Amino acid sequence: MQKTSASSAHEERSGRPPGDEGAAPQGGPRAPQSSDARDARDARDARGARGRRPRAVVIGSGFGGLAAAVRLGVRGYEVTVVDKLDEPGGRAYVHRQDGFTFDAGPTVITAPFLFEELWQLCGRSMADDIDLRPVTPFYRIRFHDGATFDYTGDAAAMRAEVARLSPGDVEGYERFVKMSEAIFRVGFEELAHVPFGSWKDMARIVPDMVKLESYRTVYGLVSKYVKDDRLRQVLSFHPLLVGGNPFSTTSIYSLIAFLERNWGVHFPIGGTGALVRGLVSLIEGLGGSVRCGAEVRRIAVEGGRARGVELASGERLAADIVVSNADSAWTYRNLVPPEARKRWTDRRIERQRYSMSLFVWYFGTRRQYPDVAHHTILLGPRYKALLEDIFQRHVLADDFSLYLHRPTATDPALAPPGCDAFYVLSPVPNLLSGTDWPATQERYRRSISKLLEATLLPGLDGALASSRLLTPQDFQDRLLSFRGAAFGPEPVLTQSAFFRPHNASEDVEHLYLVGAGTHPGAGLPGVLSSARVLDQVVPDASKFR
């Protein structure tokens, strides 16, 4: 993996400065040319030396970008992934400090078959590189009164847990599980990897959506099946994993319950960074490269077509196609010139609803807490009202619901001997709250620490060995996410499928989008599926030969 932007794969192979012909001039689009002349010049620029593979530049090395790079490499493209950060992974960046390994983002690995597929496309097996372990319970849910619920994939154990909480809801729970499977069969198997390029694609699925009651929210659907308030929370929190409010996210997202139940929840030995490194090695094995420390300032658009990218350093990379794995709102608003955008105007981008953000505290302890599960959800005193504060009112509340990650429960090597690695995550409003995070973060961290100390982690304050924070401000400044949203546009029905920024740009030819801000949406299954969609919308490499 290259870590500097000093040399370009394109430059090395073509013997001419990158982008000296292929990229748009700095002053904006050129005058229109005849399409024949343009096509001939495109072909020449893109091919350079005879027989060269067509070029693809992928902006961003999040899981969506890495998966897209693997797929394009397999299909014969010469792929360069560029990322502004100094290491790949995006939200799955790995922080190493004080002997601890902190995976910054995703920790609940579902749909392992989507990763396996990437290895298989390269003629390999994921098990050659990754030791993926099942995690159980999937989640230990701790209610505000201290009672707990172990959420697992074991049907009998789940029935027993539901009966313990609310005996009258067992039958309704079983029916909910069946409904979740029916939703999965349509929502995941038939829709997740399909490009929603036109109204017709949307119209085609309307009857199924009506049948599956997609007009209901996740909480609304769950409430139809079970009565107990705590059980409703247990069965409805999943949209929060992809940036959605259970009270406004379409019930299609109830499919996550079946996805987890059928394929389990997993965690790789070495942390999620092992998956990032594995994908980078697949890309390199296909002749592609990953360049870190290379921020894209602009996508070069000429005659309505993406021609390459221009880096913050001024270097240009010519390309036949450009794939943006950067935040979709940021891509259009900041990387595509305004004159090239008819649909994704600044006004439209500003009018979209954006997901919540996150406050994450990564910390290591000098002692271990063996009784704490790998994944714990600590529900606070308020559910609906807290979510309204976060999503609608955009105010930072004094109370919170938390997710606590203890990866050392599965892989003790992520911390020094006798220690534990953790992160605790609190869903918070995006930057529309106006919170001054640099001034607020320490006070907020302390109140979370106090709660953890009083509940699951006695003696925490005195045992701290390492600490770092991630705030909504960092989502904006470090990850270039519009309004500091952690998951792109909020996953409501009116911002899903056809209504989400398309995988094949509506505005710029040969520009494609993958990742959380495009179809189907956030979360690892979502972003890996967005890369799958590319197989249908990106032309065969032979078109450019």
Ligand X SMILES: Cc1cc2nc3c(=O)[nH]c(=O)nc-3n(C[C@H](O)[C@H](O)[C@H](O)COP(=O)(O)OP(=O)(O)OC[C@H]3O[C@@H](n4cnc5c(N)ncnc54)[C@H](O)[C@@H]3O)c2cc1C
Residues that bind ligand X (CB under 6 A): 59-65, 82-85, 90-92, 105-108, 241, 295-296, 325-326, 358, 360, 425, 479-480, 486-487, 515-516, 522-524, 527
CB nearer to ligand X: give 54 or 520. 520
Which residue, 209 or 425, is less far from ligand X as judged by CB?
425
DSSP letters for 282-333: HHHHTT-EEEES--EEEEEEETTEEEEEEETTS-EEE-SEEEE-S-HHHIII
CB 394 within 8 A of CB 432: yes
Minimum CB distance to ligand X, residue 102 (Å): 11
Shortest Cβ distance from residue 90 to ligand X (Å)? Answer: 2
Structure tokens at 104: 């910054």
Tell me the C-alpha distance between 112 and 120, whole Å: 12
Handedness of CA 513, 519, 523, 529 (dihedral sign): negative
CB 300 to ligand X: min, Å? 13
- Which C-beta is closer to ligand X: that of 280 or that of 486? 486
> How far, in whole angstroms, is CA 469 from its chain's centroid?
19
State in angstroms the smallest separation of the CB of 210 from ligand X: 28
Inter-residue long-range contacts of 113-119, CB under 8 Å, 24+ positions, other chains counted: 113/263, 114/67, 114/524, 114/525, 114/528, 114/529, 114/532, 115/275, 115/528, 118/67, 118/70, 118/71, 118/279, 118/282, 118/528, 119/278, 119/282
Query: Least distance (Å) from ligand X to the CB of residue 66?
Result: 8
235 vs 290 by CB, closer to ligand X? 290
| DSSP state, residue 393 | I
Residue among 433 and 471 whose Cβ is closer to ligand X = 471
Nearest CA among 491, 85, 94, 55 for reference residue 326: 85
Angle among Cα 398, 246, 381 to the nearest 5 degrees reads 30
User: What would the two tokens of residue 52 be?
Assistant: 């060269």
Beta bridge partners of 217: 250
CA distance 483 to 121: 36
Minimal distance, residue 68 CB to ligand X, in Å = 8
Phi first, then psi, for residue 192 (nearest 5°) are -65, -35
Residue with Cβ nearer ligand X (170 or 469): 469
Nearer to ligand X, 298 or 305 (CB): 298
Q: Minimal distance in Å, beta carbon 451 to ligand X?
A: 18
Residue nearest to ligand X (CB): 62
Residue placing its CB nearer to ligand X in the complex, 62 or 278? 62
Minimum distance, C-beta of residue 336 to ligand X, in the bound complex (Å): 11
